[in-house]
Structure 1
Amino acid sequence: MINPLFSIIIRSFNEEKHIGKLIKGIRQQSVFNEVEIILVDSGSTDNTVSIASELGAVIVSIMPEDFSFGRALNIGCRKAKGKFLILASAHVYPIYDDWVEKMTAPFKNEKVALVYGRQVGNEVSKYSELLLFKKWFPAHSNYEQNISFCNNANAVIRRSLWEELPYDEQLTGLEDLDWATKIQEKGYVIAYEAFAAIVHVHEETPSRIKNRYMREAIALKSIYPKEKFTLWSFIRLTNSNIWSDAVHAVHDRRFFQEILSIIMFRTLQFWGTYLGYNMKSKPDETLRMRMYYPNNFRKKLFQKRVDESKMGFGQKIDYSE
């Protein structure tokens, strides 16, 4: 496509289970004739790249040791041709065929720099994470948000502003929050669009849950260096969130099915946060690889180096085929 209006940039690593569903959902968008798809892959060892390529994505490959969330996005943004850069995780998929339209509509306001959309879970989501989605991504839109919260699993920015302000490549996560904070300081607006909904699939092991919140805490400490997270913070927030989730589970008549999952998720969420906030040194290359990649991949990499809701929405997408 010579002059696409929208570029959808997807970061991926071993996402063969999900990438096909995401791209099929993109191909059913009402404005697909104005969309290009760019996959930034950081060393997948499964069929992610071949699936995405067959479905029409432009593939950009980077070495695993060169990966950071900000760097992968910057590489994808440089490759993109669109006026609007839509950012999506490889394990999400849109629910309706007007997802792109809804995500980009707030840009009619010239002061809007970034729009992020609603996220929901599915049948494999942890119960506590479903509650987080409801809290972080409510059912009502906000077109002039006064805080810098956003999420690049489902977001769009103006290309012209990215050219002025690329993503921070040194952060271990939360490059979206960092970018949003800086762009707000320049006088621009962040919008939340509740009707631009995607399903976000997290199928994480306990160690990956802890790891995710640890690297986000390292990044948050870098963005807001005055913030603290003590052992008392861990104890207080873990217990208060377990209690709150348990009350919700009782209300939903799911207490006995979910209580162990609630305890596990909330404990690892805040223990990872505690570890990240209290890390004394900046992460080196070994720690960065541990943060981003699972153990079995690190082993393969070493061997390779040695050897080589309907209201306000469009048509719901049918993924059954």
Structure 2
Amino acid sequence: MPSKLHHISIIIPVLNEEDYIQRVLAKISENSTSTQIKELLVVDGGSTDQTVSMAKQFGAKVISGPKGRAKQMNLGAKHVQGDILYFLHVDSLPPPGFDTQILENFEKGIQAGCFRLKFDTPSYFLRFFAWCTKINQPICRGGDQSLFVGRELFESLEGFDEDYLVYEDNEFIRRLYKKTHFKIINDFVETSARRYMQIGMVTLQYHFAIIHLKYYLGRGPESMYQYYRKNIAL
């Protein structure tokens, strides 16, 4: 008997991303190599620019809801039809054949995983941190690497914790590590270094390290968010 045909639902949370939404949607179309992408959901948190209209022009289904990436991704997951959820940041571009690679791993019984990371800059400093994403440990994970997870597994973990206004990807992935084998696919999502360019590479990496430390020390999502607002948010 042939195995069940799996389908991918891509979920992209956005808020005022008119400069990036067309690029990522075009790259998804260009780099998909299967016929098993069920849908492309752009979950908008109240954009006041052209993000929504641009997404619709590319044929994406747009869902509107409350602002907050965890809330937006959970909302998207409630509307999917596919049995594989693929969460993608708007400024991260998936590699050629990303969908086929996800499907191949899922058919082998891998229920969750991500790609390695590279930045759109030649900086050796950022290259080092990108290299670290090959290490299969929770400390080396982040939302910029994208994330695929079986829908049933996602629902069993009750999705992203909406108390986290930052660090929501990391917190959820840590729960995935405790629940299942987490796979690092040996290919690269390319992400924008725009925030590093705006704030400073060393400075921003330092602030991210402090947020990680706060989590390990049990400071809670509100403490992490207040630190983010003071030191990172623009």
TM (normalized to structure 1)?
0.60
Within 1, Cα distance between the matches of 2:81 and 2:227?
30
Q: How far apart are residue 100 of structure 1 and its match?
A: 0.9
The answer on 1:46 being equivalent to 2:49 is: yes
Which digits, 9 at most, give the CA deviation of each residue in 1:249-268, with x for residues without a partner?
A: xxxxxxxxxxxxxxx42234
- How far apart in 2 are the matches of 1:150 and 1:109? 22
1:200 to 191, 197, 211: 191
Distance 1:191 1:183 in 2: 11
Q: Distance in 2 between matches of 1:61 and 1:266?
A: 35
Deviation at 1:281, TM superposition (A): 8.0
| Cα separation, 1, equivalents of 2:114 and 2:189 | 11
Alignment of 1:228-239 (within 5 A): none
Contact 1:86 1:157 in 2 (8 A): yes
List structure 1 segments (4+ residues) > 6 angstroms apart after TM superposition.
278-281
**SS where residue 33 of structure 2 aligns?**
coil
Pick from 213, 222, 232 the counterpart of residue 283 of structure 1: 222
Partner in structure 1 of residue 99 of structure 2: 100
Kindly name which structure, 1 or 2, has the bigger radius of gyration based on alpha carbons: 1
Alpha-carbon distance in 2 for matches of 1:26, 1:39: 13
Identity within the alignment, %: 20
Gaps of 5+ in 2: none
Distance 2:101 2:204 in 1: 35
SS of structure 2 residue aligned to 1:11: strand
Matching residue within 151, 157, 160 for 1:159: 151
Task: Write the letter of the residue equivalent to 2:79.
Answer: K
CA-based RMSD of the aligned residues comes to 3.2
Shift of 1:151: 3.0
Give the C-alpha shift of residue 35 in structure 1. 3.1
Instruction: Indicate yes or no: 2:113 matched with 1:115.
Output: yes
1:161 alignment partner AA: L
> Could you say which residue in structure 2 is the equivalent of 1:230?
none
State the distance in 2 between where 1:204 and 1:41 align: 21
1:269–1:185 distance in 2 versus 1, CA, 3 Å = closer
Alpha-carbon deviation of 1:6?
0.8
Partner SS, residue 170 of structure 1: coil
Cα gap change, 1:156/1:281 in structure 2, threshold over 3 Å: closer, same or farther?
A: closer
2:17 corresponds in structure 1 to 15
The answer to whether the 8 A contact 1:11-1:39 is kept is yes
User: TM-score scaled by structure 2?
Assistant: 0.79
